[in-house]
Amino acid sequence: RIGAYISNLSVSMMDPNHFLMIMLSRFELYQIFSTPDYGKRFNTENTNKDVVQQNNTLIEEMLYLIIMIVGERFSPGVGQVNATEEIKREIIHQLSIRPMAHSELVKALPEDENKETGMESVIEAVACFKKPGLTGRGLYELKPECTKDFNLYFYHFSRAEQSKAEEAQRKLKRQNREDTALPPPVLPPLSPLFASLINILQSDVMLCIMGTILQWAVEHNSYAWSESMLQRVLHLIGMALQEEKQHLENLNEENVVTFTFTQKISRPGEAPSNSPSILAMLETLQNAPHLEVHKDMIRWILKTFNAIKKLRESSSTSPVPETEGNIIEEGSRDQDKAERKRKAEIARLRREKIMAQMSEMQRHFIDENKELFQQTLEELATSTSRVLDNSSTVSDTKLTALGPKQTRVTERRQVVTCILCQEEQEVKVDNRAMVLAAFVQRSTVLSKNRNKVIQDPEKYDPLFMHPELSCGTHTGSCGHIMHAHCWQRYFDAVQAKEQRRQQRLRVHTSYDVENGEFLCPLCECLSNTVIPLLPPPRGLFNRLDFSDHPNLAQWIRTISQQIKALYILRDEETASKSEDLILYILKYGNIILPKGFRPDFQPNLYSESIKEMLTTFGTATYKVGLKVHPNEEDLRVPIMCWGSCAYTIQTIERILADEDKPLFGHLPCRQDDCLTSLTRFAAAHWTISSLSSVQGHFCRLFASLVPNEKSGNLPCILDIDMFHLLVSLVLSFPAIYCQDFSGVSLGTGDLHIFHLVTMAHIVQILLTSSTEENGMDQENPNGEEEVAVLTLYKFLCQHTGSALKEMSSGWHLCRSIKAGIMPFLRCSALFFHYLNGVPAPSEIQVTGASQFDHLCSYLSLPNNLICLFQENGKIMNTLVESWCSDNEVKRYLEGKRQAISYARDSNKLIDLPDDYSCLINQASNFSCPKSGGDKSRAPTLCLVCGTMLCSQSYCCQTELEGEDVGACTAHTYVCGSGVGIFLRVRECQVLFLAGKTKGCFYAPPYLDDYGETDQGLRRGNPLHLCKERFKKIQKLWQQHSITEEIGHAQEANQTLVGIDWQHL
């Protein structure tokens, strides 16, 4: 700045022509501008490119220096400005490059002697603040009215910044449908001491320099100039015109305008050169096809010239002689119109020619492929009529998801495309397998007891899920489809590549090939297995239904007989170990089998390719869910598959409920495809498992509701998650049904299982309900439903030894049942929708108060759920009595143990204080638990459970699976089954961890007043909680997307891969 001030002062005291001659001499350009035919010497044949480039660069630098000397007058003393206007100009030009955050803007602005920028006092006058969204920062954007003050040659711009600013401003003008000229801004008047500076622009030497460069541009095949040089000349001409216009507008009687730049550029050159005037050359350049980018600027110059001319004519102070300006103006306008008209006509003719060519090509193609087009039209007509028929049938009928009255919907052909080979294939049972990339992970997102740990996974029995949902198995997918053999080749190639990489460089990657992990070939989402795509599995078992539909009591009796026969067969088989025993017993009739029951029948439904993929995904679910080595022969594999299906549906239902979204219609395609494939897989997996083991699972599951003499030690009704039980029963039932040829439909069994589990859940809700009678207005205290539920409650009281508290009204109980059973009904609707493919009615695709009634209708339930007990009174009295007589139920009612009450509250991340200083105070009082009261250097808060940990410290390292790990990594295995979300308090930084080798840092939910995070607390601005950002982190956790987020972050930033996350 001091150098610019001294230059301004020196030039203001010198003759302008003398100063410019010194400049030409110092830049060694005098010879160039004094040689008349310099431009013609340089042609394509004999051009020394290095000399030309050097000369052009020198001329550009000299012109830039002249722009600086004349234009940079925003310093107090040089121009008639104050410090505020100087700061405004700095801000305007920084925001001209791009919108900036507060911290970026502060760094970019010059500081005064007090290390302050003074930005706060003027920022609102020139910029508007755009608040941050869920990502990014709050940004200052330049106000539209301030763009006129933009100067392309602002002296604080670097070359890169100048280029970015120019591009941004031109783009903005194009968006506003303005011409793209970037004229110099109107500058403040110079102070009296520096007033003579402007005379440089109208000096003879300056006019000679301008005219010479424009002449080079006009000459054909001239290589002695550059576009940057021409742009600077046009900018200087624009500055001179702005000065003259400003002088004329501020004219009064006492002043005489001595700045007559327009008159000087209108005069042609003198003899002997007789060169055209600068104005005439500008007119010539306006129509030059090789200067399209400068056309708008030249047009602006000519327009401004004429505006100044009119100002002079209206002023009486100095009559303007007739020049060629008028003629040039009119000629310019006429030529411009003619040029535009000619170009429009050329474009129209070209469009017509292209359209004609396209039409001819289409006709030619159709003629060559007449048969193909005819076939396509016929198929389209057939499919359209079929769709119309189906839609009319479905819309006119009440939609029912299960049971004998299940709505029949014709399954359309499912044709999918492999992302690897781009080949299309229909999904059929006898085709090659198609698969979805998937990621299976253990989860505690729904857990009500994170302290429960499986001590010995090899001996753990996962058949019954506890209502605490302490640890589930979640399956997610990106939704991208591949052939099974294409995926296998891709995965083998990934394995080979990683083996070579490890030999060269011992570093972690964002995925662990040894654990079966890979990145989706298309979207690079982390995956560790694949789900096979299957047609609807239930349709494969729908035999001809020719019997009456048995009621619940008859169905339970039949199933109990079949189970008894299976037990006898199994005992006999175990005793004799004879393969021909079953045939022998059937032949001689030692066992009386139920009618139509054929235990020797073995189904075989799928192709070998599909069976292989069923085994692959089932084994992956088993391995991840139990943290054991893969073993496809283990009897628990189908149980883990059913559990993953149930748990994934429960997580989706909770997400939709928390966001107050309807149950259907708002799932992303990837989740919809995942649930469809996962449910169909879980329903088909029993076909590749040991039939006797699946039948054994069904017998034990069924015995938890309908006890028999061989039921053994089973959990009580309070210790079973009813939705997991429903899914496992429904998906294992075909193992019994496939041997039943009595004519009873599979839908009848599904319906009775669902009704039985629903009634058990109602009893669960009533036993664990903490309903208190209060003074609330009761809508209908003596209605039919209220009386029925009160009768059931009294029956429960009778069989629990009056341990339940007395209730005088059924109204509160009805409300408790409806609220408690709603999540179960919503999960069941999702499950049967994806299992049977019946579309959801429109009423439950929107939120509303009548959701309960519509769900009941869709699920073949009466609106009054107590009717289930009344319709099956005798059998249900027996079952309810057996449920209530369990010792664990009695212990709970006596207050000796705890039980989950319904509906379960959704889990959320911990509540954070609004002011970040509260967290800092909390962390400052936290001492390392293992170092005798010393302060922790890196206190870290678990956002899932609220535990404060001593992270990144040797003192709190523990051993996990034979390795030393930090406190956070160890905590993730206790709190989140290997996945954790933490807030590093002193760094104000969110930490995501997954396993021992994966992690990333994430933007914290705390922002300052300018919408920026302050990771590391370097700026020290007060921070406040942004609830939207915290909700986004919570949503990532609820959607099980933490591992996916880590994978994307590590792929985008390879430095994250090298961090030893296990030591944090």
**Residues sharing a CB contact under 8 Å with residue 991, sequence separation 6 or more, in sequence order:** 940, 968, 980, 981, 982, 983, 984, 999, 1000, 1001, 1002, 1064
b/e per residue, 832-850, with b = 16+ CB within 10 A?
bbbbbbbbbbebbeeeeee
Alpha helices in 35-148, H assignment, sequence order: 38-41, 49-71, 83-97, 102-108, 123-126
- Go through the domains of the chain in sequence order and give each one's CATH number: 1-81+188-323 (no CATH), 82-182 (1.10.10.2670), 417-538+605-893 (no CATH), 916-1063 (no CATH)
* Type of residue found at 907: N
Instruction: Judge whether 686 and 731 are in contact, CB under 8 Å.
Output: yes
**Residues sharing a CB contact under 8 Å with residue 498, sequence separation 6 or more, in sequence order:** 509, 513
pLDDT at 531 over 90: yes
Q: For residue range 80-96, what is the model confidence (pLDDT) as tens digits?
A: 888 888 889 999 999 99
Lowest mean pLDDT among 147-151, 229-233, 452-456, 967-971: 452-456
- Determine the pLDDT at residue 575: 46
- Determine the pLDDT at residue 584: 46
Closest CA to 541 of 355, 387, 750: 750
Instruction: Judge whether 85 and 188 are in contact, CB under 8 Å.
Output: yes
- Determine the pLDDT at residue 1042: 94
Written as six digits, the tokens of 705 are 């509701």
Helix axes 278-286, 325-368, angle to 10 degrees: 10
Q: For residue range 390-430, what is the model confidence (pLDDT) as tens digits?
A: 333 454 468 898 888 888 887 788 899 999 999 999 888 88
- Determine the pLDDT at residue 666: 78
Kindly tell me the sign of the dihedral angle through the C-alpha atoms of 73, 74, 76, 81.
Answer: positive
Which whole number is the average pLDDT over 900-926? 90
Q: For residue range 464-501, what is the model confidence (pLDDT) as tens digits?
A: 999 999 999 999 999 999 999 999 999 999 988 887 77
Alpha helices in 267-369, H assignment, sequence order: 278-286, 295-314, 325-368
pLDDT at 646 over 70: yes
pLDDT at 585 over 70: no
Lowest mean pLDDT among 46-60, 381-395, 566-580, 731-745: 381-395
Which whole number is the average pLDDT over 981-998? 91
Q: For residue range 76-132, what is the model confidence (pLDDT) as tens digits?
A: 888 888 888 888 999 999 999 999 988 888 888 887 666 677 788 888 888 998 888
Which whole number is the average pLDDT over 994-1021? 87
Residue 250 DSSP class: T
Cα–Cα dist 1048/1051, whole Å = 5
What share of the chain in percent tops pLDDT 70?
84
Instruction: Judge whether 216 and 39 are in contact, CB under 8 Å.
Output: yes
Residue 850 DSSP class: T
pLDDT band at 1 (very low <50, low <70, confident <90, very high): low
Written as six digits, the tokens of 377 are 């039209």
Say if residue 703 is preceded by a cis peptide, omega within 30 of 0: no
HEC per residue, 42-61: CCCCCCCHHHHHHHHHHHHH
Q: Report how far apart the first and last C-alpha atoms of the chain are (Å, whole number).
A: 49
Q: For residue range 260-285, what is the model confidence (pLDDT) as tens digits?
A: 888 888 888 765 566 788 998 998 88
Cα–Cα dist 833/838, whole Å = 5
- Determine the pLDDT at residue 393: 42
- Determine the pLDDT at residue 1013: 86
- Determine the pLDDT at residue 833: 93
Q: HSE (CB half, 13 Å, CA atoms) of 704? A: 27
Q: Is pTM, for the whole model, over 0.85?
A: no
Range among 356-365, 599-608, 612-621 with highest mean pLDDT value: 612-621
Q: For residue range 805-848, what is the model confidence (pLDDT) as tens digits?
A: 777 677 888 888 999 999 999 999 999 999 998 998 888 877 76
HEC per residue, 926-984: CECCCCCCCECCCEEEECCCCCEEECCCHHHCEEECCEEECHHHHHHHHHCCCEEEEEE
Residue showing tokens 């003579």 = 196
- Determine the pLDDT at residue 380: 46
Residue showing tokens 């000229």 = 181
Q: Which residue has the higher pLDDT, 467 or 453?
A: 467
Q: Which residue has the higher pLDDT, 383 or 990?
A: 990
Closest CA to 516 of 534, 498, 504, 532: 498
Closest CA to 326 of 334, 315, 318, 316: 334
pLDDT at 722 over 60: yes
Which whole number is the average pLDDT over 881-894? 88
pLDDT at 58 over 70: yes
pLDDT at 382 over 70: no
- Determine the pLDDT at residue 464: 93
Which whole number is the average pLDDT over 432-451? 92
| Partners of residue 991 on adjacent β-strands | 982, 1001
Lowest mean pLDDT among 74-83, 631-640, 1025-1034: 74-83
pLDDT band at 195 (very low <50, low <70, confident <90, very high): confident
What share of the chain in percent tops pLDDT 90?
34
Instruction: Judge whether 644 and 473 are in contact, CB under 8 Å.
Output: yes
pLDDT band at 361 (very low <50, low <70, confident <90, very high): confident
pLDDT at 629 over 50: yes
Which whole number is the average pLDDT over 972-976? 90
Which whole number is the average pLDDT over 180-193? 90
Which whole number is the average pLDDT over 207-232? 84
